[in-house]
Structure 1
Amino acid sequence: MTGRADLRLGISDVAPVVSCGSFSTRAVVGEHLPITATVFREGHDAVAASVVLTPPAEPGASATPVRTRMVEFGPEPDRWTATVVPDREGLWTYQVEAWDDPLSTWHHDVEVKIEAGQGAEELANDLESGARLLEEVAAGVSEDHAGVLEHRADLTAAAAALRDESLGLTARIAPALSPSLQGVLHAHPVRRLVTGSQVYELYVDRPRALYGSWYEFFPRSEGPVVGGTPTHGTFAQAAERLPAIADMGFDVVYLPPIHPIGTTNRKGKNNTLVAHPDDVGSPWAIGSPEGGHDAVHPQLGTMEDFVAFVERTKSLGMEVALDFALQATPDHPWVTSHPEWFTTKPDGTIAYAENPPKKYQDIYPINFDNDPEGIYAECLRVIRVWIEAGVRIFRVDNPHTKPLNFWNWLIWEVKKTDSDVLFLAEAFTRPAMMHQLARVGFTQSYTYFTWRTEAWELREYGEELAANAHYMRPNFFVNTPDILHETLQVGGPPMFKIRAALAAMMSPTWGVYSGYELFEHVGLRPGSEEYLDTEKFQLRPRDWAAAEASGRSLAPYLRRLNEIRRAHPALQQLRTLRFHAVDNPDLLVFSKTDPASDDAVLVVVSLNSSYTQIGTTALDMPALGLDWSDRFAVTDEITGAHYDWGQTNYVELDPHREPAHVFTVHRSLPTVVAPQ
């Protein structure tokens, strides 16, 4: 015999659940998490259900579960839902309970029999059954339920009325069916045949796991230009850039690796195989005689200088994310101390990294099947070095090239002592691997957003991400040091605004790589997504002040997008992303809502950077919390314009002026006061 024989009542299709409960569902503190299940029973008696949410236990105390009553919702029969809101970090559990609901059965039966014309004599047993149920509720109320104690007299009086044969039938049942008493009975029901589903884990992160704006830059490019020649920057010089990043409204400052860089097989400018003496090499080519993953590049400064940089970032309301790239140069101390951690070829040489036709002669991949115990321990030690230095976010380079069980072990080992540490997976890889990395523990993931440029692609991908929000959180980067998409190379400044608006409004977390605000768009060669003079292999100082003074900067637009995101809780959500119909394939319309604040934002974006686009919307009004025939006001948060809208609306967007509407939805039209 298979299955659970103890399931007295029917419970199936509990959601959200990750891989049948093999991995934890995810949420953040304060997030509204809908739990659904199919709940049913034999016969015609009423069944009810609750979600039992159990928080992490406090030290020296047991956790107290909280039950939230579920309600039925359509269109599928027997489908129940309740929304839970975890209020602190850590590992929670949740379970769906189904139970026989004799009070609802009694209520229904009495009403049906009265409507059929039955009198008090025929209802004698029903009236007595109801009285006993009310007495059961009154007797079961403990001193802890102070809110119900004041209704004990009402419960007792209602039971007495049901038994009072001197009253008419209507008067006998009226107290038991009064709205006030029904509210008490709904909150404190009689529960019989209680049946529990499987218990599922829910890991709750801090809010930054879901919502944030990232800015990536290379500290080494922040040095002064002397005699026309860039000089290597330090942490102290890089810290001078932080106020401008904060002014644009970013929350996370992401740094590429800051460790010593090897010289053996060092790459030159634009990834050439021969480096000149002044070439700085790739930050991802980690390790030299000066140290490895636990050291700071001496030209950037000392560990104390890095800690000061972290503290300066915090003082501006931001935090540092640090790259965690598990690979080594031939000069890394690990190569000498632990040669077994790498793959040795038949000729005795260590294998360098390859992704044909690309070759990375300056990087040795780690072989996690050789001495896994030693490698695991060292990786955990390195992570804790940077946690001690103040880093609480790690952007993990190429996690899909390392074993899944390693990440599952490392991430949750870190979470045991530092629950607020977050991990971003830089995994531009196959969907199955990308999703599994999220399941095993990664907090966020890079996505395919960069390559989704058509309206149907963006809609399909957005719906996929929203459907999987219970375990996979996206980070929409508009560009990276590796990726300059063709649309940005040829689309001009309007396309930079379009992609920024899409990323910032669709995803609760988004990011830009330094230079985006200067419209850097020149590729290495036609058909390449690499930048010409890529910063990965050379210093690339930028004249920020001149760009601002000339007006050739996207910084004010990025600032406005981040201001809008901070002002609207709806834009900090993923689960509520909904798309709306429009009759132009070069327009995309979507909305987000926030269940806690009743906030709603509606976005219309032109995907064409060359020509004005017009169209007519067909809005999904219930998705906005409106009836199909409602009229409502919208305010464009970018231009300040106001409009009176309904389901069908004319839109016109000129990409050379403003390629996007970001509307605050006012669910009732504002009152117009006539001038005195």
Structure 2
Amino acid sequence: MTGRADLRLGISDVAPVVSCGSFSTRAVVGEHLPITATVFREGHDAVAANVVFTPPGEEPSAAPLLRMTKFGPEPDRWTATVVPDREGLWTYQVEAWDDPLSTWHHDVEVKVEAGQGPEELANDLESGARLLEEVAAAAPEEHREALTGAATALRDQSLELTARIAPALSPTLQQVLHDHPVRRLVTGSQRHELWVDRSRALYGSWYEFFPRSEGPVVGGAPTHGTFAQAAERLPAIAEMGFDVVYLPPIHPVGKVNRKGKNNTLVAQADDVGSPWAIGSDEGGHDAVHPQLGTLDDFKAFVGRTRELGMEVALDLALQAAPDHPWVTSHPEWFTTKPDGTIAYAENPPKKYQDIYPINFDNDPEGIYAEVLRVVRHWMDAGVRVFRVDNPHTKPLNFWHWLIWEVKKTDPDVLFLAEAFTRPAMMHQLARIGFTQSYTYFTWRTERWELEEYGRELAENAHYMRPNFFVNTPDILHETLQVGGPPMFKIRAVLASMMSPTWGVYSGYELFEHVGLRPGSEEYLDTEKFQLRPRDWAAAEASGRSLAPYLRRLNEIRRAHPALQQLRTLRFHPIDNPNLLCFSKTDPGSDDCVLVVVSLNSTYTQIGTTALDMPALGLDWSDGFSVTDDITGAHYDWGQANYVELDPYREPAHVFTVHRSLSASHPPH
């Protein structure tokens, strides 16, 4: 026999729950999390339910009563919304209980409607009086007089029947009874865990750049940048509205088997190599590349980032160059081939002769301890966000241990999984503790793909939070190679409006689009293997920069709580497959944003919406007004609306929805 036989009342399908409760559900501080369950019982007596929502370090018995309400087309489905107010490990449990007050209320009403008199209702009236006295004995003092008065009225045979019942059924007293119910046969579900992160876990705008490319060009040749020089770039990044500055590895780069420009096998004297080939005689994962500066210089960079309202995310890449100190001190941490050489990384046809993968099975205790030491070293230097390189190539149980070991002492530390891998692995990494995940957004270009993927992410928002990067040093999608500046706008709108967290790799604002070769997603002259200085000032002065547009998108995101949500993403029909229409709402306010974006960067697209009005908080026949947050234009809208988007003028509408129609706005 399986299941719980001790459940007096029926409770099933509690949600959200991750892997039957094997892992914690996720939320962030201030997020509205709906808890749902199916609650039922035998017979016809009333059943009710509540959620026991317990903060970290507190006992469930101290939690206030949070009653659930019925919702949806199914008669036994119940819901309540919880809003955590601090970080840490919360718990939640659904309780079902016999509700004698509701049963009594229903029975009295139907019997009176059936014409029964005081004699036939004598037992019902006395039962009601006793229930009210039971509530009065435990209720706050300010309610006791009303409760006992209603009980007295029920017993007063000198009054007409309606007068005897009226005090007990008054709206004021019914609210008191709702807040202080009589609960019998209380039955609890399994208690589930909810890990609550700080808000940056759900919402933020990321900007990736290589500090080493920020050095001056001398005599026509780039020079290796320092943290001090890279810090000069920070105000421009902050001006664009980004919250997180993501840095590739900042450690010494291996000298043995160093790769040359565009991943060539033989490096020239001036080649800087891949920062992901970590370690040399200058140090390993706990060291700073000497050409970037010192640890103190890095701390100063972190401090400057914070002064500008941003924070640093540091790459955590658990691999080693052939001359990494670990190779000498701990050769057992790597895989030795039959010929005695250490195996380098391969992903056929790609070969990474400059990188040795770590073998976590040879000395797990030693490797675990060393990685935790390295992570805490950078935490001490001010890093609270780690972008983890290729976590899907390391053991899941290792990540589960590392992440929660860190969160025991530092719950504000976040981990982003850079795992472009199979769906099962990507989802499991999120379940075991990764705060965010890279996604398949880069390769979702058709409307049906975007809608399908958006729904999947919204449905799994209780454990998997996406980070929509429009490009990375590894990925220059074909649409950006051939779509021109309008496509750069389109992808930026899609990423920043669909996902509460999105990211841009440096150079996107300059429309960098040249691939290594036809069919390749690699950049020509990729920054992974060489310095790539950029003339930001010249681009801005000539108007050939997307920076103002990115700044506007981030301003819109900050102004709208709805755009900082994932669970409320909804798609709306529109009769042109080259147009995508979606909305987001904020459960904590009236904020609602409606987006219509063209997916075609070449031709003007027209279409007519068929909006899901209830998803916007409106009735089907309502009119409303919208303001385009990009252009400032105003329109009066309803369910069906004509849309025309020219990609060379503006490929998207980002509308603030005003639910009361303003007749002064011109029709669209």
1:138 paired residue among 131, 136, 139: 136
Mapping 1:2-41, distance limit 5 Å: 2-41=2-41
| Aligned residues of 2:215 and 2:229 also touching (Cα < 8 A) | yes
**Residue in 2 that maps onto 1:80:** 78
Tell me, in whole angstroms, the C-alpha distance in 2 between the residues paired with 1:447 and 1:525: 24
* Cα distance in 2 for residues equivalent to 1:115 and 1:34: 37
1:360-405 deviations in Å (ceiling 9; x for gaps): 0000000000110000000000000000000000000000000000
Q: Does 1:100 align with 2:98?
A: yes
SS of residue paired to 1:174: helix
Structure 2 length normalisation: TM-score? Answer: 0.99
1:594 aligns with 2:586: yes
Instruction: Name the amino acid aligned to 1:473.
Output: R
Q: Which amino acid aligns with 1:34?
A: P
Q: Contact between 1:411 and 1:442, CA under 8 Å: does it hold in 2?
A: yes
* Cα-to-partner distance string for 1:103-124 (whole Å, 9 max, x where unaligned): 0000000000000000111000
Alignment-mate amino acid for residue 511 of structure 1:
G
Runs of 4+ in 1 over 6 A off after TM superposition: none
Kindly indicate whether residue 447 of structure 2 is the aligned counterpart of residue 449 of structure 1. no
- The one-letter amino acid of 1:135's match is E
Mapped partners of 2:187, 2:660: distance in 1? 44
CA–CA distance in structure 1, aligned partners of residues 257 and 650 of structure 2: 48
Q: For 2:615, what is the secondary structure of its paired residue?
A: helix
Cα shift readout 1:341-369 (whole Å, capped 9, x = no counterpart): 00000000000000011000000000000
Match of 1:564, SS state, is: helix
Q: Which residue of 2 aligns with 1:213?
A: 205
CA distance in 1, matches of 2:458, 2:3: 31
On the 8 A contact 1:55/1:64 being kept in 2, the answer is no
Q: After superposition, what is the alpha-carbon deviation per residue over 1:488-536, rounded to whole angstroms, capped at 9, x for unaligned? A: 0000000000000000000000000000000000000000000000000
1:4 CA drift (Å): 1.1
Match of 1:89 in 2: 87
Residue identity opposite 2:344 in structure 1 = Y
Q: Distance in 1 between matches of 2:2 and 2:445?
A: 48
1:654 counterpart letter in structure 2: D
The amino acid across from 1:5 in the alignment is A
Aligned-pair distance for 1:67?
2.8
Aligned ranges 1:645-664 → 2 under 5 Å = 645-664=637-656
SS for the counterpart of 2:572 is: strand
The one-letter code sitting in structure 1 at the alignment partner of 2:204 is: G
Partner of 2:409: 417
Equivalent residues of 2:225, 2:292 under 8 A apart: yes
Distance in structure 2 (CA, Å) of the matches to 1:21 and 1:384: 29
Identity of aligned residues (%): 88
Partner of 1:152: 144
Bigger mean CA deviation after superposition, 71-80 or 443-452: 71-80
Find the counterpart in structure 2 of residue 392 from structure 1.
Answer: 384
1:65 CA drift (Å): 2.0
Q: 1:121 aligns with which of 106, 112, 119?
A: 119
Q: How does 1:600-615 map to 2 (within 5 A)?
A: 600-615=592-607
Aligned residue for 2:171? 179
Tell me how far apart the structure 2 counterparts of residues 331 and 66 of structure 1 sit (CA, whole Å).
59
Residue equivalent to 2:54: 54
SS of residue paired to 1:66: coil
Residues 141-162 of structure 1: CA deviation (Å, up to 9, x unaligned)? 2xxxxxx421110000000000
Deviation readout 1:2-59 (Å, 9 max, x if unpaired): 321210000000000000000000000000000000000000000000011010017x
Distance of 2:62 and 2:632 partners within structure 1? 48
Q: Equivalent residue for 2:250?
A: 258
Shift, 1:608, TM fit = 0.2
- 1:546-585 equivalent positions in 2, closer than 5 A: 546-585=538-577
Q: Which of 71-80 and 318-327 deviates more? A: 71-80
Q: Does structure 1 residue 66 correspond to structure 2 residue 64? A: yes
- Go from structure 1 to structure 2 and tell me whether the alpha carbon gap of 1:62 and 1:588 turns closer, same or farther (over 3 Å shift): closer
- 1:515 corresponds to which of 490, 493, 507: 507
Letter in 2 for 1:547: A
User: What corresponds to 1:145 in structure 2?
Assistant: none
SS at match of 1:50: strand
- 1:350 maps to which residue? 342
The equivalent of 1:191 in structure 2 is 183
CA–CA separation in structure 1 for the residues paired with 2:491 and 2:456: 19
Deviation per residue, 1:525-575 (Å, 9 max, x gap): 000000000000000000000000000000000000000000000000000
Offset at residue 670 of structure 1 (A): 3.0
Alpha-carbon deviations, 1:214-256, whole Å to 9, x = none?
0000000000000000000000000000000000000000000
Distance in structure 2 (CA, Å) of the matches to 1:64 and 1:331: 57
**Matches of 1:541 and 1:399, distance apart in 2:** 30
Aligned-partner SS, 2:167: coil
The CA distance in 2 between the partners of 1:183 and 1:302, in whole Å, is: 65
Question: Where in structure 2 are there 5+ consecutive unaligned residues?
Answer: none
Aligned counterparts, 1:111-510, within 5 A: 111-141=109-139, 148-510=140-502
Counterpart of 1:144 in structure 2 is none
Q: How far apart, in 2, do the equivalents of 1:288 and 1:138 lie? A: 76
Contact map agreement 2:458 2:567 (CA 8 A) in 1: yes
Do the aligned partners of 1:614 and 1:650 also contact (CA within 8 Å) in 2? yes
Structure 1 residues not aligned, in runs of 5+? 142-147
1:212 and 1:134 map into 2 onto residues whose CA distance is 51
- Residue-by-residue CA offset, 1:427-455 (whole Å, 9 max, x unaligned): 00000000000000000000000000000
Aligned AA (1:107) = H
Post-superposition shift, 1:598? 1.4
Alignment partner of 2:274: what SS?
Answer: coil
Q: By how many angstroms is 1:672 displaced?
A: 4.9
Letter in 2 for 1:516: Y
Amino acid at match of 1:362: D
Q: Does 1:629 align with 2:621?
A: yes
**Does the 8 A contact of 2:636 with 2:663 survive in 1?**
no
**Structure 2 CA distance, aligned partners of 1:81 and 1:366?**
47
The count of aligned residue pairs is 665
* SS in structure 2 of the partner of residue 664 of structure 1: strand
Residue 527 of structure 2 is aligned to residue 535 of structure 1: yes
The answer to whether the 8 A contact 1:484-1:521 is kept is yes
Q: What is the DSSP-based 3-state SS (H/G/I as helix, E as strand, rest coil) of the residue aligned with 2:250?
A: coil
AA aligned to 2:50 is S
TM-score (norm 1): 0.98
Residues 541 and 63 of structure 1, relative CA distance in 2, 3 Å threshold: farther
Q: 1:613 to 1:478 in 2, by over 3 A?
A: same
Q: Which amino acid aligns with 2:114?
A: A
Q: Give distance in 1, aligned partners of 2:60 and 2:150.
A: 38
Q: CA deviation at 1:597?
A: 1.2
Instruction: Report how far residue 180 of structure 1 moved.
Output: 0.4
Q: CA deviation at 1:671?
A: 6.6
